[in-house]
Amino acid sequence: MRLMIFADIHANLEALQSTLSHAADRGVHRTVCMGDLVGYGPHPNECIELVRDLKNCRCLAGNHDVAALWETSPYGMSSAAKEAILWTMDKLTADSREFLGALPDRLDIADMTFAHANPYNPRGWRYVLNRKYALRSFAATGSRHILIGHSHRPLVITRKHLLGLDLQTVSGSIRFKVDDGRRRIINCGSVGQSRDRDPRSCYLIFDTRRQRLEFYRVAYNVEKAAEAIRDAGLPPELGTRLFKGI
């Protein structure tokens, strides 16, 4: 099976369309979206509709998704993020609200566990970027592969032995094998708000038959995306940073 895994769209329609088009040419069989369809960007309903209409797709809730429904407060977010969530609340259609409200926090498929931020406390939204939270994540599931998003940075954490971990950042489009039997935490990066200084969209295809990870970076029309943010009256810095991938 070739499984497309992506996260953190953040209502960036330009990025999502380019990413889905790229994946369509690579023989994807199933898809998992790991949340944050909305927030920051100006096209929440359009992005939700695209993801909702994908065939063989499962979707999880992200922190911006639940904040847009007032299930958690947006007032703990940065000023720009909060403003974007309040804007999004006014724009969401009834169908979009229903879709977001039905999303689960965690998904387990075969030897894979999926969560937006982490598997041990999905709505705590703790980033998994170091040994402490990686070990907590491994302890929360017996799955061999843990798939996450949230940090907007592609990353692979390999458990070499009981307490030994190897953290590998992922730059550019790259493939590597995971057929050694070791457990891993795999961050698929962000479609619509990259934060690893690469402005391109990032997503992952996991080829389960070949036991191979395929990270892809996809260029999209950043200028058009930033212009749409400005035209919507959202904080302009949300568009400016798209050019830098920060």
Domain residue ranges of the chain, discontinuous segments joined by +: 2-243
pLDDT at 161: 81
Mean pLDDT value across residues 170-182:
95
Mean pLDDT value across residues 20-45:
98
Spatial separation of the C-alpha atoms in residues 49 and 70, rounded to whole Å: 20
pLDDT at 173: 96
Above 90 in pLDDT, residue 163?
no
Long-range contact list for 123-126, CB < 8 A, 24+ apart? Answer: 123/63, 123/66, 123/72, 125/63, 125/150
Mean pLDDT value across residues 153-177:
93
Above 80 in pLDDT, residue 162?
no
Per-residue pLDDT tens for 80-106?
A: 999 999 999 999 999 999 999 999 999
Above 80 in pLDDT, residue 150?
yes
Confidence class of residue 246 from pLDDT cuts 50, 70 and 90? very high
The answer to whether the beta carbons of residues 50 and 12 sit under 8 Å apart is: no
Mean pLDDT value across residues 108-116:
97
CATH number of the domain at 2-243, please?
A: 3.60.21.10
Phi then psi dihedrals of residue 78, to 5 deg: -60, 160
Confidence class of residue 152 from pLDDT cuts 50, 70 and 90? very high
